[in-house]
Amino acid sequence: MKNKKLAWAAVIGWMSIIFILSHQPASVSSGLSSGITEFLLGTIADLFPGSAAEAEGFHTLVRKNAHFIAYLILGVLLANALGRWGNLSVQPLLSAFAIAVLYAASDEFHQLFIEGRSGEVRDVLIDSAGAATGIAGCWIAGLLIRKKKLEK
């Protein structure tokens, strides 16, 4: 029971981080992702001299990958909170996906009320793909754990 409480605390904590980041006005959010983009472009230029990446397109890639990764993590946390790793059945995995998609949709709706932000269906789809990837990874890990237990 203690582990489940901790698992749900992790879910709520991660959802809170997503909410806080989504609650930032567009200028603050853009500044954060611009800083990350500049760091990554500088690192790429250092590793591969002579390479050039278009900053604006790369900035969009960074922002959309942030959506994907944030919800991939949420999907993993939800699968963990709803299921048992060695025995992940379809129901908890579908529940984890439903919760992630509903949270993504509510998060985009929330952004409609934040200065300079907008709610995007495309972002809900990216978030959902991230959650599905994380949940699928948990399902595969669960299969491998179960297989390993059966081999013993």
Residue 114's pLDDT band, with cuts at 50, 70 and 90, is: confident
The phi, psi pair for 87, rounded to 5°, reads -145, 60
Whether residue 25 has pLDDT greater than 80: no
Q: What is the mean pLDDT of the chain?
A: 83
Q: How many CB atoms lie within 10 A of CB 34?
A: 14
Q: Which residues contact 11 (CB under 8 A, 6 or more apart)?
A: 74, 77, 78, 81
Check: CB of residue 44 under 8 Å from CB of residue 36.
Answer: no
Chain Cα centroid distance, residue 121: 16
Interval 130-150 mean pLDDT: 90
Interval 59-64 mean pLDDT: 70
* pLDDT value, residue 126: 96
Tokens of 19: 């909410």
Whether residue 105 has pLDDT greater than 60: yes
Check: CB of residue 31 under 8 Å from CB of residue 104.
Answer: no
* pLDDT value, residue 142: 86
